[in-house]
């Protein structure tokens, strides 16, 4: 199968292009930054090439009309209804949308709540822009990761302005259920918070169903900005492209003010790739999702059999596995994996300071390379015994 056919020598391109494959020394298997080792859908290549045959002058300010329609259709299918192109603000990628949301919907000194562990730019944006981060650690329960609603309630003060939500959640892979999202929406409304809901991973779900927070009702829709983009599902991170979506035009106007002169107009090739992905990429996406699910299941079976001492809950979404090696290697887990297992993973501390000894592994690679990584991991753990 095509997705099986990957080797480190071809993945480590000779030009030094790939961050993932050129960051660590050559004997290290890199399974960190979140892009896939698979080639992109042929339809995307074709869409980009065709776009280059046309004018590449300034595109329309709001973005290519056909792309905007495809995004609206995608969102409608997910449950975000009643949107028009005026409810979309294209961004160069999703991270600028995260920063713009923080800047537009809170002020320096304001308190902002987020579940942790979480995608590190959430935390960086707050710290770099002098917002006071209030952490709502996800709880480990026998059923997996869960929101601690009592602790969440205790975090609110008169300075709390904003809730940052990641759903599906990076790095735990949780897909929040309707009842959880309803409680979050009720919480945000009762405390008059704005909400940024990063839903970039919504197309890579294995169990459960993606429910956009803003689909839960008109009131929460008025207080929410939803972020998404093509790069996780379609592996186009180097092209960029993102969108901020809101039923509340004032939220989008506030983000646009922050981005003015900095955000830039959307890149025509990114827009062409995104449009091709949405219009013609579904079969590719389904094949890749099924393959990733198989990889997820391989990890689950391997950990049960060979690494029972390691904390791990199978992700319901994403291609990220989140491991607790703190009892095994303590805070040195990342270094041990790098130096002894020759595995390049993400250090858990990036996702919240209390996650020392945790590691994030990107499993969007071939089954052979994943198996090799798991065996390298198991060898260093077993060497301890």
Q: Which residues bind ligand PLP (CB under 6 A)?
A: 34, 93-95, 119, 166, 170, 198, 200, 229, 231, 237, 242
Q: Whose Cβ is closer to ligand PLP: residue 135's or residue 156's?
A: 135
Beta-carbon neighbour count of residue 33 at 10 Å? Answer: 15
Q: Whose Cβ is closer to ligand PLP: residue 100's or residue 381's?
A: 100
How far apart are the C-alpha atoms of 201 and 345, rounded to whole Å?
A: 20
> Contact 270/56 with Cβ under 8 angstroms?
no
Q: Whose Cβ is closer to ligand PLP: residue 166's or residue 380's?
A: 166
Q: Whose Cβ is closer to ligand PLP: residue 229's or residue 315's?
A: 229
The region, left, alpha or beta by phi > 0 then psi within -120 to 50, assigned to residue 349 is: alpha
How far apart are the C-alpha atoms of 93 and 269, rounded to whole Å?
A: 13
CB of 276 to ligand PLP, least distance (A): 17
CB of 34 to ligand PLP, least distance (A): 4
CB of 288 to ligand PLP, least distance (A): 16
CB of 83 to ligand PLP, least distance (A): 20
Q: Among the residues of the chain, which ranges form H helices?
A: 8-11, 19-22, 42-52, 65-78, 94-105, 120-128, 149-154, 178-190, 218-222, 231-234, 249-259, 268-280, 282-306, 326-329, 333-336, 367-384
How far apart are the C-alpha atoms of 57 and 238, rounded to whole Å?
A: 21
Q: Whose Cβ is closer to ligand PLP: residue 88's or residue 381's?
A: 88
At 291, list the tokens.
């393959």
Q: Whose Cβ is closer to ligand PLP: residue 234's or residue 325's?
A: 234
CB of 199 to ligand PLP, least distance (A): 8
CB of 265 to ligand PLP, least distance (A): 16
């Amino acid at each position: 199968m095509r997705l099986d056919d990957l080797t480190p020598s071809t993945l480590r391109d000779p030009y030094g292009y790939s961050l993932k494959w050129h960051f660590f020394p050559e004997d290290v298997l890199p399974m960190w930054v979140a892009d896939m080792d698979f080639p992109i859908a042929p339809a995307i290549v074709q869409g980009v090439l065709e776009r280059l045959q046309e004018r590449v002058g300034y595109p329309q300010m709001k973005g290519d009309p056909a792309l905007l329609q495809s995004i609206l259709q995608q969102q409608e299918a997910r449950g975000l209804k009643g949107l028009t192109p005026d409810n979309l603000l294209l961004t160069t990628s999703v991270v600028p949308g995260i920063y713009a949301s923080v800047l537009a919907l809170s002020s320096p000194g304001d308190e902002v709540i987020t579940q942790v562990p979480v995608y590190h730019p959430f935390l960086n944006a707050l710290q770099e822009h002098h917002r006071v981060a209030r952490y709502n650690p996800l709880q480990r329960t026998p059923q997996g990761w869960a929101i601690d609603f009592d602790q969440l309630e205790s975090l609110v003060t008169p300075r709390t302005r904003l809730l940052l939500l990641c759903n599906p959640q990076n790095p735990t892979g949780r897909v929040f259920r309707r009842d959880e999202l309803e409680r979050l929406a009720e919480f945000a409304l009762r405390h008059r918070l704005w909400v940024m809901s990063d839903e970039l991973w919504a197309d890579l779900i294995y169990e459960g169903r993606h429910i956009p927070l803003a689909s839960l009702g008109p009131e929460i829709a008025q207080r929410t900005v939803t972020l998404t983009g093509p790069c996780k599902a379609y592996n186009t991170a180097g092209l960029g492209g993102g969108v901020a979506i809101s039923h509340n035009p004032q939220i989008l106007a506030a983000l646009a003010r922050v981005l003015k002169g900095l955000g830039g107009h959307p890149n025509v090739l990114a827009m062409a790739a995104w449009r091709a992905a949405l219009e013609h990429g579904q079969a590719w996406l389904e094949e890749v999702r099924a393959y990733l699910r198989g990889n997820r299941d391989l990890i689950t079976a391997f950990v049960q059999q060979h690494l029972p001492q390691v904390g791990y809950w199978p992700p319901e979404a994403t291609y990220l596995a989140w491991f607790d090696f703190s009892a095994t290697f303590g805070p040195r887990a990342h270094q041990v994996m790098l130096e002894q297992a020759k595995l390049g993973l993400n250090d858990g501390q990036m996702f919240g300071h209390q996650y020392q000894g945790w590691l994030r592994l990107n499993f969007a690679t071939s089954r052979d390379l994943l198996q090799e990584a798991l065996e390298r991991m198991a060898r260093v753990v077993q060497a301890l015994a």
